Structure 1
């Protein structure tokens, strides 16, 4: 019963946040940012354990599967554009993935984090299921990885628009690669707000980044001695 009520609570908060965002479309009022913050606060105040919440919340996770399949529609719609820019998308995402892995590892080393924590945050820029798998392979803690993946996604939708304005990035291909490579599914959701093509490029970039990181992270961390 508690799980079902938590499910309704999450949906209700998201619905209200969505309405508020339509009225005042500021990035800090994004439903993807507001909903988890409000839910966490309510759970802490009410003393509801995460296990009880997850009894209802797991159904939202299951809905990610058909939602992912739905990406096939814009992929088909923009097939010619994707084919035309395939080379630059692949090179850009590969470069971004390598930079994400390297910069995270170097920052963790500079902060004198232990190897387990370092390996946990290295795959933070890719989608959660694959990030947790990569974390386990390279000796990290998957649950910690999941937390940093969420933080990275939320940071992406906050900082991403600022980067676009600061560097005057107006191309839909570039915008899509930026959000998909750096902020996975959360960034892709933001990219679709900009345009359908930007969101499509972001979804492709998200998938490529996950594949590249799955292959590259173990190799690069091995070369770095971790």
Structure 2
């Protein structure tokens, strides 16, 4: 019963936050920021532990699987665009993935974090399920990695549009690649707010970034931390 109430709580808060964001599209009112903050606040105020929340909230996580498959629809719609720009997208995502891994590892090393936290931070820029697997394979803590992934996604979705505007990135291919590579699923959700093509490019970039990171993270981790 508690799990079901938690599920309703999450959906209800997101629905209200989404309506507020449509009326007043300010960064600080983003549903991706407001919803987790309010949910955590309610859980702390009521003394509800994570296990009880997860019994209902897990159904939202399970919906990520069909939601990810649904990306195939816009991919099919804009296949001709993807085919035309595939080389630029692949090179950009590959470069961004390597930079994300290296910058995370070097920053963690500079901050003198312990080994577990360092390896948990390395795969922070890819989608959660794959990031947790990468973390486990290189000696990280999957649960901690999930937190870093969520934080990266939220920051990317909030700051991404401002960076795009500041750097005057007008091309939809470039915008989609930036958001998908840097902020995975959360960035892709934001990219679809900009345009269908931007969201489509972001979704394929998110998948490519996960594959590249899965391939290079273990090797780079051993190189930096022999």
TM-score interval w.r.t. the shorter chain?
Answer: over 0.9
Moved over 3 A (4+): none
* Structure 2 counterpart of 1:7: 7
Name 2:63's counterpart in structure 1: 63
After TM superposition, the structure 1 = structure 2 runs for residues 58-137 of structure 1, keeping only pairs within 5 Å, are 58-137=58-137
User: Which residue in 2 is equivalent to 1:179?
Assistant: 179
Q: What TM-score, normalized by structure 1, do the two folds share?
A: 0.99
- Tell me by how many angstroms 1:209 deviates: 0.2
**Deviation of 1:176 (Å):** 0.2
Could you give the per-residue CA deviations for residues 107-156 of structure 1, whole angstroms, max 9, x where no partner exists? 11111111111000000000000000000000000000000000000000
Q: Name the SS for the 2:25 alignment partner.
A: coil
Is the aligned partner of 1:30 residue 2:27? no
Partners of 2:116 and 2:107 lie apart in 1 by 14
Q: Residues of 1 paired with 2:158 and 2:31: CA distance?
A: 12
How far apart, in 1, do the equivalents of 2:152 and 2:215 lie? 20
Tell me, yes or no, if structure 1 residue 223 matches structure 2 residue 223.
yes
Structure 1: state its 5+ residue gaps: none
Deviation of 1:225 (Å): 2.4
Please list the CA deviations of residues 72-91 of structure 1 after superposition, one character each: whole Å capped at 9, or x if unmatched. Answer: 11000000000000000000
Q: What is the root-mean-square deviation in Å for CA atoms of aligned residues?
A: 0.7
Q: Measure, in 1, the Cα distance between the counterparts of 2:68 and 2:13.
A: 23
Report Cα offsets for 1:174-226 as digits up to 9, x if no partner.
00000000000000000000000000000000000000000000011111124
Tell me, in whole angstroms, the C-alpha distance in 1 between the residues paired with 2:151 and 2:167.
Answer: 23
State the 1:2 CA deviation. Answer: 0.4
Question: What is the number of residues matched between the two proteins?
Answer: 226
1:21 equivalent in structure 2: 21
Unpaired runs of 5+ residues, structure 2, are: none
Instruction: Give the 3-state SS of the residue equivalent to 1:143 in structure 2.
Output: helix
CA distance in structure 1 between the aligned counterparts of 2:202 and 2:152, rounded to whole angstroms: 15
Residue 161 of structure 2: aligned partner: 161
Deviation, 1:25, is: 0.9
Partner of 2:170: 170
Structure 2 distance, partners of 1:96, 1:45, is: 40
